[in-house]
Structure 1
Amino acid sequence: MISLKGVSKNFGEIKAVDSISIDAYDKEILVLLGISGCGKTTTLKMINRLIETDGGTITIDGKNIRSGRPEDLRKSIGFVMQHAGLFPHYTIKKNIAIVPDLLGWNTKRIHDRTQELMQKLRLDPSLLNHYPHELSGGQQQRVGIARAIIANAPILLMDEPFGALDAITKSAIHSEFKNLDELQNKTIILVTHDIMEAFELGHRICLMDKGHIVQIGTPREMLYNPANNFVKDFFAHNRLLLEYKIADVTDVIVFIKEPLSVAAQDQLSKSVTVLQALEIFGSDNKFNKDYELLSQAFNHYRKLKKA
């Protein structure tokens, strides 16, 4: 577990982070969300000491991060930067191998692990001898993830990792990211200003403003139990789509007025959220009635949640 207690950081007279306390739990994805300048990236970089704290303490599994050298700390933490952050004068192979080289891995071990990740991240092995500028944005971002997880560190920090990607590429990488088995047993802290991304990937969301934590909670808690008007207003513009994303089919199926078709019921076993189910139903005219029934049930569910 990563624990921040009363952590602060000032840049001159500006309080970038003002005495915040938060825990990131084992095997969870905690999203730091907010507009530019709210303190989320500063908070992230204090965890691996790219930025040093001015006050408070940060511990990992009970050990103060300042008890050892910053270099040793960073070897035990994966880090994905904005725009992939690859070294332009290194080949892809050399970029991925940076941490294993520092850890003293032998050539075969680095080669085998690199090949494994190239396959899992759907990267052609022929790209290993290329340079970053020769890859697309999506390919560069996958390489950045490979570099961050190659040593299988228990902690992964991600600073706006998908911010530079187009919507289609971002959606594909989100899906791969969630299903990558290497990430299932890690504590992940992800910084983003993208509300949809936060709801798509986060187990919990920490909403920040002007160096303070406004609210921490699950996506459902942020929408249905906002701590104040700031939280309510922050999500208001995207609220309907966010509700589609977080509502499970099992939440709303009890409100369906009549049985769905057998084919629709078979399809529901393949979907988790109402949004996923409606996307399936909307792609085939034979599900028109099922689409309408599920939509009506969802609207009834929404009214109850608002009440």
Structure 2
Amino acid sequence: MISIEGVSKSFGSKKAVDTISLDANDKEILVVLGTSGCGKTTTLKMINRLIEPDSGNIFIDGKNIKDQKPEELRKTIGFVMQHAGLFPHYTVAQNIAIVPNLLKWDKQKTEKRTLELLEKLHLTQDILKLYPHELSGGQLQRIGIARALIADTPVLLMDEPFGALDTITKSAIHNEFKNLDELKNKTTILVTHDVVEAFELGHRICLMDKGKIIQIGSPAEILYHPVNSFVKDFFASNRLMLEYKIASVKSVASFLDKPLSAKAEEQLTATATIWDILQIFSTENVYNEDYEELLLAFNQYRKLQTV
């Protein structure tokens, strides 16, 4: 859906992005991960022409973005930035309606779509008359997401969208975000420096350093098969937690010495990770045996994955 081919960008003598190439597949969430200054935000902003590359080409759905006017291109791309980027002198309703107004939607269509998104993001209608300064951090970010999703564009770009939130709020929004129906029909590129966030949200991860792409792969590939010591060391401090988060209960089932209890089985879903289930099992004593059994099975599983 998105192809970046040999793209570079310099600011003065500093090369922010150094001849990178990558593809973001249709309907996937690709997370661009790295420390501050690695070039990830510059890369993102070149996709919607907020920054123009010095060289190379970017294609969206096979079309070179250079062949489109920036303002027309941006109508086909949702964009979420850190701190939501809402206009302070607009109400929430006016902020959400910015793109629909540019697309000349009628008022009824805009209102209907706005209410749909508020429900999905667990926001009440009375928030629509408020101004950004009257909202909490979590509310601001949810409104920023609603504004980016309202036109249901095929591409969504997100620049550190959850970076300003506390851990509890961030966790709640991650869950809401992952369950949005809209994401199943669009290609999303999300920039972050948060390793755990990358593993929770990304189908694939692109790790950057000093303007270059170091490795691209699924969370499991990048964790268990690092291409060099930089990649291995980058995830070292969070490694065990990340392993819990990427291992599904299904993947360790063959390592169980005995089946989980019927009550424990009721908690399992097709996409449940070891992390998800252990959080549930740790809350009640009734799951003590299941907790130990699952933990032993996971340890057997991870021994076969670790490099």
Q: Which interval holds the TM-score relative to the shorter structure? A: over 0.9
Shift of 1:13: 0.6
> Within 5 Å, which residues of 2 pair with 1:85-234?
85-234=85-234
Q: CA deviation at 1:269?
A: 4.0
Q: Report what 1:273 is aligned to.
A: 273
Amino acid at match of 1:43: T
Question: Match of 1:66?
Answer: 66
Which residue of 2 is the match for residue 296 of structure 1? Answer: 296
- Which residue is 2:55 aligned to? 55
The residue identity in structure 1 corresponding to 2:222 is M
- 2:220, 2:64 → 1: CA distance? 33
Q: CA deviation at 1:37?
A: 0.1
Confirm or deny: 8 A CA contact 1:84 1:144 kept in the other structure.
yes
**Cα distance in 2 between the residues matched to 1:120 and 1:303:** 40
Aligned counterpart, 1:259: 259
Displacement of 1:270 in angstroms is 7.0
Instruction: Tell me the secondary structure at the aligned position of residue 185 of structure 2.
Output: coil
Q: Which moved more, 1:262-271 or 1:102-111?
A: 262-271
Please say if residues 32 and 190 of structure 1, whose CA atoms lie closer than 8 Å, have aligned partners that are also in contact: yes
Cα pair 2:250 2:270 within 8 Å, conserved = no
Structure 2: give runs of 5+ residues left out of the alignment.
Answer: none
> What CA distance in whole angstroms lies between the structure 1 residues aligned with 2:166 and 2:62?
39
CA distance in 2, matches of 1:204, 1:77: 20
How many residue pairs are counted as aligned between the two chains? 307
Instruction: Provide Cα deviations, 1:198-232, integer angstroms capped at 9, x if missing partner.
Output: 00000000000000000000000011110100000
Contact 1:271 1:277 in 2 (8 A): no
- In 2, Cα distance between equivalents of 1:99 and 1:261: 51
User: Shift of the alpha carbon at 1:235?
Assistant: 0.4
1:12 aligns with 2:12: yes
Shift of 1:64: 0.5
Question: In structure 1, how many angstroms separate the alpha carbons of the residues matched to 2:138 and 2:221?
Answer: 32
**Gap regions ≥5 residues in structure 1:** none
Residue 191 of structure 1 deviates from its aligned partner by: 0.2
Q: Quick check: 1:240 aligned with 2:240?
A: yes
* Cα distance in 1, alignment partners of residues 28 and 258 from structure 2: 38
Alpha-carbon separation, structure 2, partners of 1:205 and 1:71:
29
Q: Is the 8 A contact 2:154 2:187 kept in 1?
A: yes
CA contact (8 A) 2:2 2:59 kept: yes
SS class of match (1:30)? strand
Residue aligned with 2:72, SS: helix
Q: TM-score, normalised by structure 1?
A: 0.98
Given that 2:16 and 2:37 are in contact with CA atoms closer than 8 Å, whether structure 1 keeps it comes out as: yes
Aligned-residue RMSD, C-alpha? 1.1
C-alpha separation between the residues in 2 aligned to 1:300 and 1:115? Answer: 48
CA shift at 1:175, angstroms? 0.4
SS at match of 1:18: strand
